[in-house]
Amino acid sequence: MPLQIPKGYRNILGSAEDTERAIKAVKDMFQDNLSAQLALLRVTAPMVVLSGTGLNDDLNGVERPVAFPIRDMDDSRAEVVHSLAKWKRVKLAQMGVKPGRGIYTDMNALRPDEELDNIHSIYVDQWDWEKVIAREQRNEDFLKKTVRRIYEAIKVTENKLYVEFPQIEPVLPEEIFFVHAEELLKMYPGMTAKERENAVAKEHKAVFVMGIGGPLSDGKPHDGRAADYDDWSTVTAEGYAGLNGDLLLWNPVIESAFEVSSMGIRVDAEALRRQLELRGEQWKEGLMYHRMLLAGELPYTIGGGIGQSRLCMFLLRKAHIGEIQSSVWPEDMRRLCREHDMELM
């Protein structure tokens, strides 16, 4: 069982009541900070989408969605969302939102193929957000500017949390470090992608790794990414172009790089065709979402997801995501966690 037991771990918040109060404080503060930083309006989002529309997030392309027939719709198949990466862009088009503004929502998903450990659960809760941008803002500088705003929202939340719960001392650095996945490969030769993330996160404490999804110079992607929402960009003769990435924090409790957000500038028609061809998924061009994008019916956007339980776990110095969210866990994992002051909900 891939479970980490931090040496000498203890729940610094004490009671279950204090933990619940702290979770609420983090969620209330952060979504207000995020909304202010990025000019986002909260909207209501679906838990299910219809199969065959292309709206669901395919993640790495192998994860199975929870699916079922709808009796009153002639047994049409519906799927519990993996994320709302593509649904949000359609919503922005329907709302007619102009560049400079966007939306966020509470996203609740089920991912039954997740490997259960300290940071993974079959239940996923995120602040999913999406913002309309101008075509000329589809560049690395704008991506970095947006990442800095999100990081500022996290830092402000950590500092405010310290006022209410002084046992939780701030640990985040003033600035976030940016690195392209190809640069990371060259910085730490001979390491796996996860080992490279651990090394750079341990050194810089807060890192944004760009250019995730496309093949690097060793022929492998840094990590998996669906071909039809983030623009991976490529490693070119002129240098590294990265229009997406992961926000990693160094988690001092489990002593590991800790992903709290995946985000990026979304594909335009050209990038969609290029990335679908790289994956051999040109058949998706016939799906509803992809037809809309190729026909120019969707706005240019930037967006991503920020893990609610993940962020709470980090800020509240918890060792297991089950100390934050109520989910299902193997009984032997529950027993082992209980023996080490990790009480899973």
Catalytic site includes residue 341: no
Give the start-to-end residue ranges of the domains of the chain: 19-339
List the catalytic residue out of 233, 262, 275, 308. 262
How far, in Å, CA of 11 to CA of 306, rounded? 24
List the catalytic residue out of 125, 231, 246, 323. 246
Catalytic site includes residue 259: yes
Q: Which CATH superfamily is domain 19-339 in?
A: Bira Bifunctional Protein; Domain 2 (3.30.930.10)
Catalytic site includes residue 246: yes
How far, in Å, CA of 122 to CA of 219, rounded? 31
List the catalytic residue out of 158, 259, 261, 308. 259
Distances (CA, A) of 217 to 181, 226, 264: 10, 20, 21
List the catalytic residue out of 58, 83, 111, 225. 111
What tens-digit pLDDT sequence spans the chain (345 residues)? 578 889 888 888 878 888 999 999 999 999 999 999 999 999 998 888 888 887 777 766 677 888 888 899 989 888 888 878 889 999 999 999 999 999 999 988 888 888 889 989 989 899 999 999 999 999 999 999 999 999 999 999 999 999 999 999 999 999 999 999 999 999 998 899 999 999 999 999 999 999 999 888 888 999 988 899 899 876 555 666 789 999 999 999 999 999 999 999 999 999 999 999 988 999 999 999 999 999 999 999 999 999 999 999 999 999 999 999 989 898 988 998 888 888 888
CA-closest candidate to residue 292, choices 134, 77, 60, 92: 92
What pLDDT does 241 receive? 75
Catalytic site includes residue 137: no
Catalytic site includes residue 58: no
List the catalytic residue out of 31, 57, 228, 317. 57
Q: What percent of the chain has pLDDT over 90?
A: 63
List the catalytic residue out of 31, 121, 126, 261. 126
What pLDDT does 109 receive? 85
Catalytic site includes residue 111: yes
CA-closest candidate to residue 303, choices 80, 125, 126, 109: 126
How far, in Å, CA of 180 to CA of 113, rounded? 29
Considering only CA atoms, give the Rg of the chain. Answer: 20
